[in-house]
Amino acid sequence: MNAELGAEFSFTPWHFDANSGELKLTYSDSKFGEFEELFQFPQPDVTRYHRFQSSIDAAIDCLHWMAGVSYYKTALAKRICFGQNITRPKPNQLQAQWLSKTWQHGLAELAFNNQLPWLAHIKFEAELRQEGKASKTIALSPQSLVAIGGGKDSLVSIEAIKAMGEQASLFMVGQSKFIESVSKKTGLPLLQVGRKVDSKLKLVNDQGAFNGHVPITAINACVAVVAALLYDFDSVVFSNERSADVGNVKLDSGQWVNHQYSKSLPYEYMWQQVISQCLVSDLHCFSLLRPFSELAIVKKFSSHNNYFPHFSSCNRNFHLSGSKNQTHHWCGSCPKCAFVFLCLAPYLSKKELLSIFNKNLFSDKALNGLFESLLGITGLKPFECVGEQQECRLALQLLEGHPQWQGQKNIQHWLKVLPHLDEVQIDEIMQASQEHLIPLKRNFQLVLSDAT
C-alpha cells in the first residue's frame, strides 16, 4: 500500500431534480479525478419542495458533504476545499466541526488498518458569516420515518413504534432485496431511496487507493433527514444501542478507534445540533434503543419469534456487488453471526437457535478465536457492530443454567477462565440508561417503561 496522501479533495456542485427526485452529487480528487454519486428519491411533491426549498437544500448540502467521505478516503487528501463554481453556502462553524470530527473518527479504522496515524489533517474550514437564530419551524407532521436494516435492533424499534400507535413509515437506502423482504413482514409502508455509488471506486481501489470502513450511518442519517423534509415527517428513528459508544482499540496517541462512531451518542448529539440550528427546529433524529445494551435488546427481540425465519444481522447480505449470502441469510462465520448467536442462545431453545443459523456456531472450532475476542479473552474487539465484552460474558454466564448447552465443552471452558459477573454488574448491563435523545413528544419515552 502506497501511504502517500493526496494533495486536494474538492466538493463540486450538486443538482436536485424536484420533478424526478434524482439527486446528483459530484466531487473531485487531485489524485483520482472526478466522482459522481446518485440518489433516487421517490417522486417528491414539487410544490412542497419549492415551499420549503431553503431548508431542504440546506439538508442536501449536509448530505453532499457527508457522502463525500466515500471518495475522499481514496487518497485522504491533505486539503479539503470547495470548487470555484459552487454557489451554495459553505459549512458554518458548527457544521465544519461536525464534518471534521465525523470524518476523523469515521475513517480512524481505515487509518489503523493501513498503519496510518490519526488523521488530524482532516479539517473543514468554516465560512465566516453572521449566524442567525435557530432554524425555523416548518410544522412537520407528527409521524416517524423508521430506519430498517433487516436485523434484530430495527425490528425491536418497529414493534415498539407500532405498540405506541405512532404513525410511521419504514426507511431504507439502497436496493437490498433482503431488507425489502423483511420490511414486508412488519406491515408498515416502506420509503426507499436508491443509491448508486460511483463505479469508478472499484477501479481506483485496484489502482492502489485507500479503502476501508466509512461512517455509513452518518450518510444514511443525512439521506433520512432530506427524506423527512421532502415527505413531511417530524421524526427520524434509528435503532443504535448504547454499546455503540464503546471503541475497539485505543491508540498510543490517546484516541479511540470506534467502528461504530457514527452510531454513537456523541455523534447523535452533534448531528441533532446541526439539524436544530442549521436546518429546521422541529425535526428530531434519534435512536429509540439508545438507553439499552445489545443484550437487553436481544432479550426483547427473543419474544418476536414471527421474525426468526426472516431477519438477519449478517453484513454479508449488504455488499455493493450484491449479497454474498446466496442460500441463507447468515454466513455463520463472521463477527456479527457469532455475536448474535451467543446473545440469543440464553433466551431461545437450542432448536430455535439452530433453525435460525442452520448450524451450531459453538461447535465450529474455526470460530473459537472469534468468540474469545468477543468475550475479551484474546485479541481486539472485532471491527464490526457488536456489543461490549461484558455483555458477551453475561450471555455466556446465562448459558451456565441453560440445560441444553451443558455438554458444550468450549462453553464450559470459557466459564471457568472468565470471572463471574455479580448482581450489580448484571443490573448495569440490563437496565436502561438515562443518556439518550429520545424526545418527550408523543409516546416515544414509553420504550423506557418497558426496560428489561
Q: Which residues contact 400 (CB under 8 A, 6 or more apart)?
A: 415
Mean pLDDT of 242-257: 93
Q: Where exactly does CATH 3.40.50 map onto the chain?
A: 8-129+140-287
As assigned by CATH, the class of the 8-129+140-287 domain is alpha beta
Grid cell digits, residue 452: 428489561
Q: Which residues contact 76 (CB under 8 A, 6 or more apart)?
A: 5, 6, 107, 111, 116, 119, 122, 210
Residue 1 has pLDDT above 90, yes or no: no
Within 10 angstroms of residue 452's Cβ, the number of other Cβ atoms is: 14
Please give the C-alpha separations between residue 397 and each of 107, 328, 385, 387, 392, in angstroms, as whole numbers. 35, 29, 22, 15, 9
Within 10 angstroms of residue 381's Cβ, the number of other Cβ atoms is: 20
**Greatest mean pLDDT among 173-177, 226-230, 332-336:** 226-230
pTM for the whole thing? 0.94
- Please give the mean pLDDT across all residues of the chain: 93
- Phi/psi at 258 (5° precision): -125, 110
Count Cβ atoms within 10 A of the Cβ of residue 238 and give its class: 0-12 exposed, 13-18 middle, 19 or more buried: buried
Q: Give me the pLDDT at residue 327, please.
A: 60
Chain segment 21-68, per-residue pLDDT in tens: 999 999 999 999 999 999 999 999 999 999 999 999 999 999 999 999
- In this prediction, residue 83 has a pLDDT band, given cuts at 50, 70 and 90, of confident
Residue 2 has pLDDT above 50, yes or no: no
Mean pLDDT of 5-17: 96
Grid cell digits, residue 346: 440464553
Residue 248 has pLDDT above 50, yes or no: yes
